[in-house]
């Protein structure tokens, strides 16, 4: 197994472990499900949320970020357009992570990013592959 394959495998394992982190946390300390705080960064959005639930949602978003990164690494080996599509969704999930920490994705920006990212991917697949001009063929 090459070094790149080992790194990708490790990232997948980390991503899958992240999605189970809240369960492990609960098994270690069941009292954590009862602890509630306002953990959001926004000065105008306030909601007390279970720490276990917050960890669950953040960990799942980070899991998606890792999977999108792995997809980008593999897609780059296969196809440029597929790689760009992966990058769009990678940046989308990074923005979702920030917006979740800010105000739990309750503003219109989150919805605009979803539709904007999807639109960007659709548009890039609709753009035809550039054809080489006749002059470059005669060499």
Cβ atoms of 43 and 95 within 8 Å: the answer is no
Residue-wise pLDDT tens digits, 2-35: 888 899 999 999 999 988 888 888 888 888 778 8
Cβ atoms of 33 and 26 within 8 Å: the answer is yes
Q: What helix, strand, coil percent values describe the chain, rounded to 5?
A: 75, 5, 20
Can you give the pTM of this predicted structure?
0.80
């Amino acid at each position: 197994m090459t070094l790149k394959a080992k790194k990708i495998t490790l990232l997948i394992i980390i991503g899958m472990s992240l999605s189970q982190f809240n369960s492990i946390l609960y098994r270690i300390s069941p009292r954590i499900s009862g602890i509630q705080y306002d953990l959001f960064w926004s000065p105008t959005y306030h909601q007390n949320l279970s720490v276990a639930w917050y960890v669950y949602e953040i960990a799942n978003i980070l899991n998606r970020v890792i999977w999108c990164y792995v997809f980008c690494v593999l897609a780059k080996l296969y196809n440029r357009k597929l790689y760009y599509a992966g990058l769009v969704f990678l940046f989308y999930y990074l923005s979702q992570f920030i917006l979740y920490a800010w105000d739990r994705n309750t503003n219109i920006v989150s919805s605009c990013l979803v539709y904007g990212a999807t639109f960007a991917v659709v548009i890039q697949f609709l753009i035809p592959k550039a054809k080489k001009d006749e002059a470059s063929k005669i060499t």
